[in-house]
Homo-oligomer: A and B are copies of this chain.
Amino acid sequence: MTEGDRTRRRDAAATRQALLAAAAELFTARGFDRTSVRDIAALAEVNQALVFRYFGSKEELLGAVLTAPGREIVATTPPEELLTRLVGEIFAGEPGGPGANLLLMALSGPQDGGAAEALDREVAAPLRAALRSLTDDPSADLRAELVCAWLLGIALVRQIRLDGPVAKTDPAEVTPVVLDAVTRLLTDG
């Protein structure tokens, strides 16, 4: 309607970004399958055909949404701080909203589309490697994956049980509890 809208339209990068943001929000809230391309486009206030112009398919859009933020965290954080950083990120965002909880998407998404594999490769695998290096226990692999499993579970419960203590307790109180338990799990023989 307004001229301001007119000037901001016809901007490929902006629409691409709007689609990414809308997709992240809806995928996180409802899961992949329960989100339609038309819903994403509507939230982004963009024609639905543009999803396919810019991302090729709904699955590739999921891939783009999934890998972006996690990869950034892993890339910009030294291994020895990765655990603390990730726990912090998990408890940083609003429980219901988007944030570190992109994991849910990978679970509800297509198993064969490579999205879950991409997330594992880009985010979880480096984390496991970093955790493994913190202990010399012979079962380091197992313990590292147990820690990852815990983080996954915490992120999910925070997302699902919005009224539970994991979601509601002050992060400053929860974080040390988790980090403590993880540390002991890793450092005990």
Residues of A within 8 A of B (CB): 30-31, 33-34, 104, 107-108, 110-111, 116, 120, 139, 141-143, 145-146, 148-154, 156-157, 160-161, 164-166, 169, 173-174, 177-178, 180-181, 184-185, 188
* Option from B107, B154, B177, B180 in Cβ contact (under 8 Å) with A160: B107
A151: which B residues are within 8 A, CB to CB?
153
Please measure, in the bound complex, the distance between the C-alpha atom of A142 and the C-alpha atom of B175, giving whole angstroms.
11
Please measure, in the bound complex, the distance between the C-alpha atom of A66 and the C-alpha atom of B161, giving whole angstroms.
18
A110: which B residues are within 8 A, CB to CB?
34
10 A-B pairs whose Cβ atoms sit less than 8 Å apart in the complex: A33-B34, A34-B110, A120-B161, A142-B165, A146-B174, A146-B177, A148-B157, A152-B156, A156-B156, A181-B184
